[in-house]
Structure formats: structure tokens, C-alpha cells
Chains A and B, each alone.
Chain A
């Protein structure tokens, strides 16, 4: 407001591009709000991130406190490791398998629950519980259910005569990934159901009325109205599910520890096994950095999808 008189008759003042410092000073109050959160984030996120990247260029012998700079040798070792391609394949099987099955089941469940009928609320509550259960609990519960000799599933299938031998769900290298995907689906499909149900309920009912007037049957309404209207939610849900599965550790770790013979080893359990269990910090950090790169590609889309909503700061500024 310094130049009031000078500006009186002038045309629109030229937009003086404000310096960053003056912008920061002008909006200093905002930093009181975000300050504590950003401090904690920096301490527990930014520092570890940098530390991991630095560590990935070092050899960190488990028995000595010092560390040796070895350039990209950790990375070379990762790519040439005998387990590398197996781990990649398992990770893809685990992530995509769990996502596809839980999406199909979750979508079907959402469509069923999205009906106004007696006891729907009860069904909905029951279907959500697996999602609330802890991962350690889930892992042990299913280890028990899938136990070859004493487990309910194996014994029950023998009882009704589908199989004659006990089934080694988690001990057989050809069954173990499928079994893990089953468990993860059980735990994840309610999430898909909740999200898609909310999406279904947000579809304006007038669209269905209009489609009915226009002569669309239930199936055509589903294809022409429901799916397109649901698309944004489907996108968000799928991205969240892919990320959640990709990053999940506890269920595979507690159920198999990567075994038998690394047949269920995925990237996350591999990092944990080499880093925490075998104390190869540098090597594990290198895998982590590779993981960062993969996830950064995801995160670009993820953040874009999530920030598409309203930003109230534009109508509430000063």
C-alpha cells in the first residue's frame, strides 16, 4: 500500500512478481499450522529416505561398525542376484493376483449390498470385518485354517471327498502363491467393497430414471450408467489396492517367511530378510531404492488422482 497516490490514475498495476521471501513472510501464519507436521515428517521420512539412498552405495559388514563406499556394486549385485527374477515374478503374481481377485469379489459384493433389502446392514457389517482384523491375526488364523494335517480346509475337503490326501497349501511350492493370494483377497476385498459401494451410492438416481425412460434394461443401465459414473472411484480404488498389495509385508512374512525355497519371496520380504535378518543394510538399501523408483512412477498417477478433488484454498485466500 506504499504507492497509493502514484497508482491512483494508473492503469492496472503491472503484476510485480513477488519474491519468494516476501511470499513466505506474507503467509508466515500458514507455517505455524503445518510446521509441527512438517518437522515430524522430515524427521521420520525425509531423513530415512536420504539415509537409505546414501547407504545403498556402501558395504555394511554385519560384524563391524564401519562401512565402505563401493559405488553401484550393491545395485549390480541386486540385478545379478539368483533370486532377482524369481522375486520379481512372485511380486507381480502376488500384487496383480490379489488385486484382480479382490476387485472382482469386492465389486460383486458392493453390487449385492447396494440393494434396499432387510438385513443388508448386517451383511455389510459382516463383510467388512476381515478388513478390520489385524494382519498378524489374519496370518495366524489362515495358517491354522490351511494347516495340512489339522487345518479345517484340508480336512473338510477330505471329508466331503474332493481330495484324498492332506493338502500342503503353504508347504508346496506350486500352491504357496495361490494360497497367499487367497488370504490376501479375503483381507482386501472388503476395502474394494466399501469404496465401490460409496461410489455406487453417489451415482445420481435421476440418471437411472432417465435411462429407464430411454428404454435401457438393467444390464444396459449397468454398462451405460453405472460403469462410466463409477470410473473415477474404480481408478482410485484400483491404484490404492495395487499399492497396498505391493507394499504388504506382514501376511506373506508371518505365513511363509518367503518359503518354501523362496517360492513366495516378494520384494518387501526380500528387503526385510536381507536387511533386518541378515544385517546386509547396504544391499537391502539398494533394493529399497529400486523400489522407490518403481513406486515413484506409480505415485505420480496416485497423487494426481487423489488431488483431483476440490481445493478450497482458492476461494479462501488472503
Chain B
């Protein structure tokens, strides 16, 4: 046994393969950090601006962490007694009502239809399903003029009902497509068993399949909710009176009336984003499954 001390570069002790893994891991994290910076920095900046005093925009324009953070902007844009915040509560309420109702209604109407598309054969099925899928192809804007005329003649402009109905144009086809994917994933033996056990056809759907699809129904409802919450052109043109505006529309009016109030605008942006980001954080798994199902299976 020799006892000569040897100087060793710690990296050299690692076997070549291990060294390569370490290098690879480091590169992966570097890449991830760059992506995270790209994705998160704008949002960090949004929050940072929202908690800056109005004058700090000029005094410390590139400070990410403000010298004197404040909640003033949030109070100003939500406070019913200030000119810039007086409608905030109304807008928030409108957005909530319209989004929740659109999500709920589209799932209720879409679920039986999606089930029929998944399980039954009937004349017209191909054409109807084609129409459902093709709808996702067409931009909302091209339907805006006829929808506006339709809503005007039905006296549905500036009503919740009208906007919810308009939102069904995109939430419904999407929900049908998503739910059909979830139903396709359930083995048909379960309905067969249920029908032999004494259920009617509808009973098998209602008692066995629907409860089993709860995660899918939730994912679909969330997806519809987020779409409705963020929608802009329909809300702008079909619910234009001041007390019917939704949050995104309210934001554009806020901007045109207070175009230099960047801190107030970013505070509004934070408030609008919080619900969807929270929902997403809690239900990320369902959200992702809604987005990727079908596409990946096929």
C-alpha cells in the first residue's frame, strides 16, 4: 500500500459516463432557466409595475423590485368611489356570471351530444360532427356581424343571456369535442353491464358514464370558463353598455380613459389574471388532459 497523497480533480473521479450525465443535467437546467426567464419575466414585470407608486414609472423605470412598494394602484382601480374604479365591481360580477354560466351550460348541452357522437350511429352523424369540428376552424370575428343583427332582433344585446348564447358558439363545439374524447376512453362494456343490470340506455349514461367522467366534465368546464373569461370581441360588441361590460372590455375602456396610468392598468391586469392562474395551478392536470386528449391518442 502506497501512502503517497495524490491530488485529484474531483470531476476526474467520476466515470466518463457520470460526467456526461452531469454535463447534460447542467445544460438542461440552463435551458430551463432561460425559458423560465422568457415566460416569467413579463409577468414579473406586470406585478412589479402594479405595486409601484405612479411616479416610480419615471423615477425608477427598470427596477424590478420597487423601492417603495404600494397597494395604492389596486385600491384605485377597484375602489367604487374613485373615477377609475367605480365600475370594477360591476365588470367583475359580469365576467363571473357570464363565464360560469357559459361553462356550465356548454357542459350540460355538450355532454349528451358528445355521448351520442361517441357511442351511437345515426343518420347525419358525420355531417353534424364535421360541423362541430369545423366550427373551431373559423374565427369569431366573421360571425360577429350576423350575431349582432341576430341579437338585436332577439333583443338580446346588453343582456347576460345574449352574451352567454354567443359564447356557446365556441365553448359548445369545443366541449363536445373534448367530452367525446373522454367518453371514447371508457370501455363500452360498462354500459352493456349497466343495461343488463337493469338500466335504460339513458340510465346507463346518466348513472354510470357521467359519474365516471367527472374529471373530464371538470376539465371541459374549466377550459370553457377560461375561454369565456378571456373573451374580448364579442363582449365588446354584444354587451357594450357601461353596466354590462366584462373585465377585458372594461380594461380597454380604462386604458382609453387613463392612457398614461400604466401602474393602474397593470394592477387591473393582475386582478384579471389571478382567478385563471389560481384555477390553473390547482387543476393543471385536468387542464392539460383536456388540451392534449384526442390529439395525442390519434
Contacts and interface: CB of A to CB of B under 8 A. Distances in A.
Genuine A/B complex:
yes
A154 B110 CA distance: 47
A148 interface: no
Most B CB contacts (10 A, CB to CB) among A140, A237, A299 go to A140
Interface in A100-157: 105, 108-109, 112-113, 115, 117, 120, 123, 125-130, 132-137, 140-142, 144-145, 147, 150, 152, 155-156
A92 B45 CA distance: 31
A127 B31 CA distance: 12
Given A41-B132, A52-B146, A195-B292, A112 B35 contact: yes
A140 B291 contact: no
A223 interface: no
Most B CB contacts (10 A, CB to CB) among A113, A136, A155, A312 go to A136
Interface stretch (B65-73, B77-85, B211-219, B273-281): B273-281
A243 interface: yes
Classify the secondary structure of B's interface with A. Answer: helix
Interface string A32-66: 11101110110111111101100100000000000
Q: Interface size class for chain A?
A: 35 or more
Nearest to A248: B139
Most B CB contacts (10 A, CB to CB) among A20, A156, A298, A312 go to A312
A245 B126 CA distance: 27
Given A44-B166, A250-B233, A134 B298 contact: no
A271 B141 contact: yes
A171 B147 CA distance: 33
A6 interface: no
Interface residues of B, number: 101
B251 interface: yes
Given A48-B146, A123-B36, A132-B280, A268 B141 contact: yes
A109 B37 CA distance: 12
B273 A302 contact: no
A155 B64 CA distance: 13
B168 interface: yes
B110 A37 contact: yes
Given A126-B36, A144-B265, A198 B288 contact: yes
Interface in A187-221: 190-191, 194-195, 198-199, 202
A134 B29 contact: no
Interface in B134-166: 134-147, 149-150, 165-166
B275 to A, nearest CB: 10
B110 A117 contact: no
B251 A309 contact: no
B252 interface: yes
Contacts of B113: 33-34, 36-38
B119 A312 contact: yes
A127 B35 CA distance: 7
Interface stretch (A73-81, A82-90, A284-292): A284-292
Given A37-B172, A237-B295, A310-B184, A134 B133 contact: no
A43 B165 CA distance: 9
Interface stretch (B8-16, B54-62, B86-94): B54-62
B45 A152 contact: yes
Contact of A195 (B29, B169, B277, B295): B295
A265 B109 CA distance: 37
B117 interface: yes
A48 B150 contact: yes
B272 interface: yes
A27 B123 contact: yes
B28 A291 contact: no
Contact of B237 (A109, A115, A276): A276
29 contacts: A24-B122, A33-B113, A34-B128, A38-B128, A41-B131, A45-B169, A52-B143, A52-B145, A108-B35, A126-B39, A130-B39, A135-B230, A137-B230, A137-B273, A145-B45, A155-B62, A156-B62, A195-B296, A236-B298, A243-B137, A249-B139, A272-B233, A276-B145, A288-B145, A291-B139, A295-B137, A302-B134, A303-B133, A306-B298
What are the nearest 8 A-B pairs in CB distance? Answer: A48-B146, A247-B139, A134-B230, A37-B113, A33-B116, A27-B122, A198-B292, A51-B146
Given A36-B113, A133-B273, A141-B42, 17 more contacts: A33-B116, A37-B172, A38-B113, A47-B150, A51-B146, A51-B149, A136-B230, A136-B272, A141-B43, A144-B262, A152-B61, A186-B38, A194-B292, A248-B139, A275-B145, A276-B237, A313-B120
